């Protein structure tokens, strides 16, 4: 490794808190009024803050739930463990929900990781490229015998979030900077959510186990008949006609592909 490459690698490690600035001070020209170690500490702090800020922007409800001091400490630990692998900061934080789930200091807020997953899904849908949704009347163009083998492609902005906690209510209650105006019943049961943006607005749709399995199967490129079978496994009285009509009206799909 060249000396320049080695120095760059050590500065990157220092920026993420993996190396003390003092160990690098001798490698930095020190002909300025501020000592090299102090300059490096400033650089390190600015670098880490520059990575924590996008996390706060992507996960504002998580920030509200735990408070700024705790969030900054947790986000800082995440930054040191998961430095960005791509230059786009918009994509940074994909591993944050999983990190929260394993973060010992956050165990007192057991729903926190799932709230982060919902925020990550919302952020993805919000920033995804536009795509015209499938018309709710699109299936009328197909003969009845074609429907079983039809493949409905979900909208490309769609993300799935399943939780044992009422994360949709928690998320909705924290859309104000003042926090929730009423208590959340954490025993209300879990959520199965579809997060997507068919047009201008990012939507969160709560569905039952059957509809969730139905859409997931279609997302895996299964036919309507196969998706219906999957839905019945999750919900024995799943009404495919009613659910499909509701999902089409909600503009969940982007394309209908005949076999």
Residue 243 and residue 213 share a domain: yes
| Number of domains making up the chain | 2
Residue 9 and residue 91 share a domain: yes
The DSSP string of 54-86 is HHHHH-HHHHHHH-HHHHHHHHHHHHHHS--SS
Residues 63 and 71: beta-carbon distance below 8 Å: yes
Query: Domain residues for 135?
Result: 130-259
- Asked if the model's pLDDT at residue 221 lies above 80, the reply is yes
Tokens of 145: 């015998």
**Of 175, 170, 199, residue with least CA distance to 185:** 170
Taking only the tens place, the pLDDT of each residue in 193-220 is 999 999 999 999 999 999 999 999 999 9
Backbone Cα Rg of the chain? 24
Q: pLDDT-based confidence at 4, cuts 50/70/90?
A: very low
- List the 203-206 sheet strands across, edge first: 159-163, 191-196, 203-206
From 40-54, 78-92, 177-191, the region with the lowest mean pLDDT: 40-54
Taking only the tens place, the pLDDT of each residue in 157-197 is 999 999 999 999 999 999 876 666 678 899 999 999 999 99
Average pLDDT in the chain? 85
Q: Which residue has the tokens 């600035």?
A: 21
Q: Is 117 inside any structural domain?
A: no
Q: Is 116 inside any structural domain?
A: no
Q: Is 125 inside any structural domain?
A: no
């Amino acid at each position: 490794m060249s000396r320049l490459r080695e120095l760059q690698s050590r500065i990157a490690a220092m920026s993420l808190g993996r190396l003390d600035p003092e160990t690098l001070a001798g490698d930095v020209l020190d002909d300025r009024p501020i000592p090299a170690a102090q300059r490096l500490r400033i650089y390190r702090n600015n670098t880490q803050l520059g990575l924590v800020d996008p996390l706060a922007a992507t996960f504002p409800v998580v920030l509200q739930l735990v408070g700024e001091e705790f969030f900054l400490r947790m986000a800082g630990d995440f930054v040191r463990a998961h430095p960005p692998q791509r230059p786009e900061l918009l994509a940074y934080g994909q591993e944050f929900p999983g990190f929260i789930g394993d973060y010992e200091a956050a165990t007192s807020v057991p729903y926190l990781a799932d709230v982060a997953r919902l925020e990550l899904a919302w952020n993805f849908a919000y920033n995804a490229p536009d795509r015209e949704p499938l018309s709710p009347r699109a299936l009328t163009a197909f003969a009845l015998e074609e429907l079983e083998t039809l493949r409905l492609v979900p909208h490309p902005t769609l993300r799935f979030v399943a939780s044992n906690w009422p994360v949709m209510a928690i998320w909705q209650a924290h859309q104000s900077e003042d926090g929730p105006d009423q208590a959340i019943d954490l025993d209300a049961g879990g959520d199965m959510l579809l997060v997507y943006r068919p047009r201008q607005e990012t939507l969160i749709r709560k569905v039952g186990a059957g509809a969730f399995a139905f859409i997931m199967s279609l997302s895996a490129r299964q036919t309507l008949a196969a998706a219906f079978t999957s839905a019945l496994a999750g919900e024995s009285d799943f009404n495919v006609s009613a659910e499909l009509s509701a999902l089409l009206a909600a503009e969940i799909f982007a394309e209908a592909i005949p076999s």
